[in-house]
Amino acid sequence: MASHKSFNEAQLLIDEEIADLTVRMRNSIRLLKIQRNAAIRVLKTRRNELAPALKLPEEIIVQIFIILRDTSDRHPKSWHQVTHICRYWRGAAIGWPALWARLYNPPHALAALMLERSQSMLLDVSLSTLEPKHSIQTLTIILGQIERIRSLSFRAMPPTFLDIVHDVLANLGRDWKAASLQSLAVGLEPGPRPVVVRLALDVFRPTGLLRCLSLSGGRYDLAMLPLVPNLTALYLYGKSLRQITGVEFTEALRHMQFLEILKIDWKRLHLRQFPPTSQSQPIHLPCLRELEIVHGHQDHFDSFLSLMAHPNLHQLSISSPDSVNNLGTFIQSLVSTIETGDFSPLQYLRVEDEYFTLSARPESSYWLGSLLHMYVPIDDDAGEDDRGFQFVVDIISSITPFDNPDKIPLRYIYLADFDAPVDQFTRLFAPLRHLETIEVYHKLALVLFKALHMASGMPRTSILFPKLQCIICHGVYPTLSSDVFNELHDSLLSRQAQIEGAVPFKLELVGCKYLDESQANQLEEIGVEVVIR
């Protein structure tokens, strides 16, 4: 019994010793970590002493400040705190006028200070709001420097805003001139027509140096455009002060030989007698790259586009408030416009319910390259079941005609949630032999799978989408039903057997939370990469 007790006591002593060693080891490790962190801090401190920010040239520091200003939300509160970091930074910032020459919604208390620090630099001013308490004072301070303002942008201003600006400029007490103004944008909120109509070009009196003019809301007079003949960008989204004839409109454009961007609200032009005559002369705009027309009508669009000579056009956007007489004919006229411009190959097609976009780049960056964008409401008298897909039929038939299917070699197609008979879908898309990716929603996905499956029995020369590499399927259910999966699996299996040297195939399921394990295994067995997102 005694020996048994001594054994237990010995075991307890051993356990206590082990516990004590563990505690001592942990304390030692903690102490070593503290020493390590202290050493790291010393090394970092010495490294900073060897290469401190104080030794950076002032020009580099200020460039960092400018990048910070331009990559933030541009409001002064987001970047002017750099003047509070240290004396050297403050001196560099305050002593660099270019840093203070961009005024974006400056608080009233900071506006005068920024103008002072900008010295004689040209100013870029953008106001999307005015502080209620100081709006007149802030405008007076900023517009007091009208001679050195290079760009001036006002957004969402009250209907009486031009009256306010007129009074401010009239009270400057000197004969002023907007001698440096290169860009003017005035956006007014809608409101009743004022008793006295102010025009932006009258109020700001720009010179021939003006390159960009944007007017939205308010009114304008087309007869004043010859005062600014060197425009490269013109945005007319306001309302014409009066009715204008087709001759006035075309003559105004003919004088804009440097115009690169033209965007017009056609309805607000108050245009009559267009086209001017049956034998109107072409409108040569040799520099035009981007053309956008909203709220127009098919007849006017067709006439206007037929008059235009635009060898450098590479972006065209059309929006009609009404259904068109013949959608196919309308699209063909737009395609003809593409052929007379400088469009890169248009390989990406996106079709939604009432608009489509043809572009040279994918959706994420298509506004940077060549594109054709069109919005037209679909006739409500069409049948509910096929009205949407008929829109697709009109588009595809126009851009890939039967006699020239490679006219626009599409590589990527996005189709919204349309529905269609399988045979019609197959006939329509069979000519698209360059297609690599198709993106569809759940209704059309099943149609696509059936079409691919049915096409597997055709001769190899008639394979549907022979270069297809990826299907992106948007679903509304967490899993693929057995019917949908079977159609998908059988169609892909048939393609793999039919196409010699088939490239790896990718299936992206958007909105599908997961695949059944057996489904995933079956797709993997036939070499299909599955991405769920």
Partner residues linked to 355 by β-bridges: 375
> Given this model, what pLDDT does residue 502 score?
60
What is the C-alpha to C-alpha distance for residues 86 and 84, in angstroms, rounded to an integer?
6
Alpha helices per DSSP H over 181-239: 200-204
Alpha helices per DSSP H over 296-399: 298-307, 327-339, 387-399
What is the C-alpha to C-alpha distance for residues 344 and 361, in angstroms, rounded to an integer?
9
Per-residue pLDDT tens listing for the chain (533 residues): 455 557 777 777 887 888 788 888 888 888 888 888 888 877 766 665 554 666 678 888 888 888 888 877 667 776 777 777 778 888 888 888 998 999 988 888 889 999 999 999 999 999 987 767 678 888 999 999 999 999 999 998 988 899 999 999 999 988 999 999 999 999 998 888 777 889 999 999 999 999 999 999 889 999 999 889 999 999 999 999 999 998 899 999 999 999 999 999 999 998 887 877 767 889 999 999 999 999 888 888 888 988 999 999 999 999 887 667 778 888 888 888 888 899 988 999 999 888 899 998 877 677 788 999 998 876 655 544 445 788 888 889 888 876 677 788 899 999 988 888 889 998 898 888 899 999 998 788 888 888 887 776 665 556 788 888 999 988 766 677 787 788 888 888 877 777 766 668 898 888 877 778 888 888 888 888 888 88
Structure tokens at 72: 């933030």
> Given this model, what pLDDT does residue 412 score?
95
Amino acid at 73: D
> Given this model, what pLDDT does residue 389 score?
84
Cβ within 8 Å of residue 360, ≥6 positions away:
343, 344, 345, 346, 347, 348, 366, 369, 370, 371
> Given this model, what pLDDT does residue 86 score?
77
Within 10 angstroms of residue 5's Cβ, the number of other Cβ atoms is 9
The full set of domain ranges for the chain reads 11-51, 411-533
What is the C-alpha to C-alpha distance for residues 459 and 449, in angstroms, rounded to an integer?
18
Exposure class string for 75-103: b at 16+ Cβ within 10 A, else e: ebeebbebbeeeeebeebbeebeebbbbb
> Given this model, what pLDDT does residue 54 score?
62
Among candidates 363, 362, 361, 316, which has minimal Cα distance to 336? 316
Q: Residue 507 phi/psi, 5° resolution? A: -120, 115
Within 10 angstroms of residue 36's Cβ, the number of other Cβ atoms is 10
Cβ within 8 Å of residue 499, ≥6 positions away:
460, 463, 466
Structure tokens at 173: 């007490």
> Given this model, what pLDDT does residue 503 score?
67
Q: Which long-range contacts (CB under 8 A, 24 or more apart) does 112-115 make?
A: 112/141, 114/76, 115/141, 115/142, 115/145
Exposure class string for 310-345: b at 16+ Cβ within 10 A, else e: beebbbbbbbbeeebeebeebbbbbbebbeebebee
> Given this model, what pLDDT does residue 364 score?
67
What is the C-alpha to C-alpha distance for residues 512 and 532, in angstroms, rounded to an integer?
7
> Given this model, what pLDDT does residue 221 score?
93
Alpha carbon distances (Å) from 449 to 397, 442, 484, 488: 22, 11, 8, 5
What is the C-alpha to C-alpha distance for residues 92 and 88, in angstroms, rounded to an integer?
6
Alpha carbon distances (Å) from 53 to 87, 385, 436: 12, 68, 52
Contact 104, 70 (CB under 8 A): no
Cβ within 8 Å of residue 314, ≥6 positions away:
289, 290, 341, 342, 343, 344, 369, 370, 371
> Given this model, what pLDDT does residue 385 score?
44
Helix (H, G, I), strand (E, B) or coil at 528: strand
